[in-house]
Amino acid sequence: MRAKVTITKDIKDIPEFLIETIFESRTALSALCRKRFDCLDMDRLAAQISEYRLGLSDIDATLEDVQSMLSGYQAAIHGHPSDAEQEPADEEV
């Protein structure tokens, strides 16, 4: 079961956190790539493929989270104001 959680970090710590998370995903992917499949036992092979796919799904979800956090970080850095905070555009009459 997966649950969505929110974390709070100091803005200066976010790049390092994102990089660490990416490297953890990379390590997990490398570990998956080293797994061997038992092609002689079809039942075992089916279970291994399922485990492999679950691992890939976890890595994908983590990278999706990183991408979302990166978008939020960029918005915070570049100071994208909400629509309510934007000044009205000058109109020509």
8-60 per-position pLDDT tens digit: 889 999 999 999 999 999 999 999 999 999 999 999 999 999 999 999 999 99
Share of the chain above pLDDT 90, in %: 74
Question: CA angle, corner 53, sides to 6 and 58, nearest 5?
Answer: 10
SS (H, E, C) 24-73: HHHHHHHHHHHCCCCCCCHHHHHHHHHHHHHHHHHHHHHHHHHHHHHHHH
- Position 64 pLDDT exceeds 60: yes
Task: Record the pTM.
Answer: 0.76
pLDDT of residue 87: 47
Q: In which band, very low, low, confident or very high, does the pLDDT at 81 lie, cut at 50, 70 and 90?
A: low
pLDDT of residue 55: 97
